Amino acid sequence: MGILIKNCSFVLTQDRDRRILKDCDVFVEEDRISEIGKNLKITSEFVIDGKGKLLMPGLINCHTHSAMTLFRGLADDLPLMDWLENQIWPMEKNLTPESVYYGSLLGCLEMIRTGTTCFADMYFYEKETAKAVQESGIRGILCSVILDNLPVELTGLKTGIKSVEYLKDLNSERIIPSFGPHSIYGCSEQMLREVRRVASEENVKIQIHLVEAKSELAYSSKNYNKTPVEYLDSIGFLKEDVVTDHCVYVNVKDIEILKKANVKIAHCPVSNMKLASGIAPIPEMVESNLTIGLGTDGAASNNSLDMFDEMKFASLLHKINVNDPTVVPAQKVLDFATIDGAKVFGLEDEIGSIEKGKKADIILLNIKKPFFTPIFSDHSIVSHLVYSGKDIDTVIVSGRVLMKDKNILTMNEEDVMKKFQKVADELRERSSKSL
């Protein structure tokens, strides 16, 4: 059964020409966009009224730790390494598969409500995150975090390999496996070389935190006499299948190395600001034609998984940083959150834009709102989306309606929040006893 979305006031395609269509229909057949046009002569049992709405591709969150909703608001206003080593890691030692499942499920719920249809995740017990992805209906690029200094049954390379095998065996087009070595300070050179080898053999992407804070620069200089980017390049780690999260402290030479290797960037401005980690040189990366997507990071260091907020902050941060209101304009950050985010994970032929034949990952927004008024031109539509606000009405992933008229259809929202609160309370109690 197809889905006919009739009379959309606007369809923001994010195609090659960045067309915005007016008074348009979109027909979804099975999991793909089948037709786009005015007054489509198609009969469907499932019709969505698009009048007063804007249809656009769902947003792509290129870096998060969805289950860290469990730590939202518990360790605010601290520097990165203090936050990580003295607050988050001690609590993470008390995680259970159940807590990760409900943390991930709540994260999926939040992302659906805020217009995200695909997210990249790195965490523990990733089977539980996969379960949450399956049940919620969202799309996920998942990996188990790989670290040298935690139990191997939780974070070792074999666990990472088993996770990839498990995710592949699910045979779900909405779940994409990847490898997740945490960082150069969390993984030995031998570990990073092994991850690189196995990722190439398995033909899967690698997600890794890179140069998120100044302390990582000092660590790399002391241990390798190189910048973190130079170090990873020297061991043959950097290739086009690598997605580097943050890249705050990279210099001109580092950017050249990243570009030569066709490495992708997941920019997380809100988390970087909240932890006072620094400001990634995104304008310089844009100038070098690096592929850049946006990520929220986890709810422990951002508090929100809202990609619309991330777009606004991304644009404003770089304008004030270089005292130039023209840098990182609205259209560019919208690209980061849609088609460029898809390119980060090699999915641009499947998602990231509204085009015939692509997966039906679609969101509809109510635009008959004060904050979306007036509309003078295509430019004002993009500007309002990035700077003014949003009112998400409907979310569709792979042709399945996950939310309609603001009602979540794939799970009981109240029940999820109630059970999540229970496991979060239990996790906090266990952690307080172990400190």
pLDDT-derived band of residue 435, with 50, 70 and 90 as boundaries? low
| Terminal Cα-to-Cα distance of the chain (whole angstroms) | 55
Domains defined along the chain, listed by start: 3-56+363-398 (2.30.40.10), 59-344 (3.20.20.140)
Q: Which residue has the tokens 């496991």?
A: 423
pLDDT at 228 over 80: yes
Over the stretch 320-362, which tens digit does the pLDDT of each residue have? 999 999 999 999 999 999 999 999 999 999 999 999 999 999 9
pLDDT at 90 over 90: no
- Phi and psi, residue 366, nearest 5°: -75, 125
Token pair, residue 13, equals 């395609």
pLDDT at 69 over 90: yes
Q: Which residue has the higher pLDDT, 52 or 1?
A: 52
* One-letter amino acid for residue 235 of the chain: I
Q: How far is CA 22 from CA 67, 154, 335, 376, in A?
A: 39, 51, 20, 13
Over the stretch 10-50, which tens digit does the pLDDT of each residue have? 999 999 999 999 999 999 999 999 999 999 999 998 999 99
Token pair, residue 183, equals 């960082």
β-strands 400-404, 407-408 pairing: antiparallel
| CA separation for the pair 174, 398 (Å, rounded) | 8
pLDDT of the residue at 432: 78
| CA separation for the pair 161, 195 (Å, rounded) | 9
pLDDT at 372 over 90: yes
Contact 313, 267 (CB under 8 A): no
Length of the chain, in residues: 435
* One-letter amino acid for residue 337 of the chain: A
Residues in contact with 337: Cβ distance below 8 Å, sequence separation at least 6, in sequence order: 59, 60, 293, 294, 307, 310, 311
Over the stretch 279-328, which tens digit does the pLDDT of each residue have? 999 999 999 999 999 999 999 999 999 999 999 999 999 999 999 999 99
Average pLDDT score over residue span 162-172: 98
Average pLDDT score over residue span 55-68: 98
Query: Is 250 buried (19+), middle (13-18) or exposed (0-12) by CB count in 10 A?
Result: buried
Contact 118, 58 (CB under 8 A): yes
